[in-house]
Amino acid sequence: MSYNNVKDMSDNKLTLPSNVCDYLVSHLDPLELDDFFENEFCELNEQQDTTKMKDKLEKILEKSSQTQSNTYEAMAITRDIGFIASALNRHGVVIHNITNLESELLRLSELTLELPRDNVNSYTTRNPKGKRQRTFTNYPEERLFIHSVRESMNCLYTISNNLQLLKETDICSSDYVRLVNNCSEQFNFMVNSIVQVKKEISPERFSFDLQPYFSPFVIGGKLYHGPGGTQMLMIIVEFLLYGSSLDDKEYQDYLDNNFVYLPYDHREIVISNKNKPSIIDLILLKESTYIERKERLYNSLNSLEKFLNRIIAFRSPHTQLAKDNMKVRPPKSLGSGGYNASILETLLEITLEKKRTIKEFKKTVELVNV
């Protein structure tokens, strides 16, 4: 999907920022499916009773098509349809053969201003908490996984907001250092989270019992990937830090293929910043202006290097975790976003290279006599 297509899809603006939107959606149950998900869904799924699940989904689709929904209710409906459709897809049911599924997801997409299937927000931040939470299985590891990704998404939302403010903040100001340091503090949860997931969710549990529910399927003749890490707001963090002007084909393909799964306000960030200087660019492009404020500039560079170190501390175990998962899967397997672990290695290497750039610039600043 091109940038122009996404721009067209975004013409009707949402009134709530995505974190508030997701919180609201998590409390909605417009088709009254709480009891089904709490008491029936996991058992039907475990028994692979596709007949009952398909019958239930087709009744839900009929009810949905007759329901006057606003944008947020449509997101909740897409979430619930997505869970059941993904389970049927995992058990070999041909999605195209489910009556009204494609037409209803396409209709709901016009209301949500998003692609016509569930996404990582549906599975985590728009997913209710407690007994209302939707899961595919009764495994405690799945609940841990949802909690971990949900909390990570909340942290990444705060970080992405800070980075947008950073682009408008004087690089040699204390506010700049404060914003970057806050990003580093927020990112500590990401680091701790990936370590916990790596420790408590085995490659076998994730690869064979959870990941198959995130498989792609075709809607309206187009292939859409299921919820996955490539749809998380980490893509916005890296884009604002260094990616908006990055001349790297693998990275640009990764960005183009995945930013379309983001909520409206974050797609707008990509559209409005595409081919413009990144946060790291803004320091390097105007170095002569800032050299006279050497000490303040050095503090800002230190804070950026610290933040990049936190990202590296997340990306390194994340990359290893992906490799471990791939080892137990059949050859040439792909992750939920349609990639193997090599894309994570690319993102890690880009981050390491940007850290080296910052370190070299720090040396330049050190040599300046003011």
Instruction: Per residue of the chain (370 residues), give pLDDT as tens.
Output: 333 443 343 334 467 899 999 999 999 999 999 999 999 999 999 999 999 999 999 999 999 999 999 999 999 999 999 999 999 999 999 999 999 999 999 999 999 999 999 999 999 999 999 999 999 999 999 999 999 999 999 999 999 999 999 999 999 899 999 999 999 999 999 999 998 999 999 999 999 999 999 999 999 999 999 999 999 999 999 999 999 999 999 999 999 999 999 999 999 999 999 999 999 999 888 665 666 678 888 899 999 999 999 999 999 988 888 888 878 878 767 665 667 678 899 999 999 999 999 999 988 887 765 5
**Predicted local confidence at residue 294, as pLDDT:** 80
**Predicted local confidence at residue 150, as pLDDT:** 95
Rounded to 5 degrees, φ, ψ at 223 are -85, 125
Q: How distant, in Å, are the alpha carbons of 22, 157, 258 from that of 236?
A: 17, 9, 10
**Predicted local confidence at residue 287, as pLDDT:** 60
**Predicted local confidence at residue 368, as pLDDT:** 63
The pTM of the full predicted model, rounded to 2 decimals, is 0.89
Q: Given its phi and psi angles, is residue 29 left (phi above 0), alpha (psi -120 to 50 degrees) or beta?
A: beta
Long-range contacts of 11-16, Cβ-Cβ distance < 8 Å, separation of 24 or more: 12/113, 13/264, 14/71, 14/113, 14/263, 14/264, 14/265, 16/72
- CB count in 10 Å sphere of residue 94: 10
The Cα 184–Cα 130 span in angstroms is 30
Locate 3 and state its tokens. Answer: 């940038």
**Predicted local confidence at residue 292, as pLDDT:** 63
**Predicted local confidence at residue 160, as pLDDT:** 97
Q: Are 241 and 354 in contact (CB under 8 A)?
A: yes
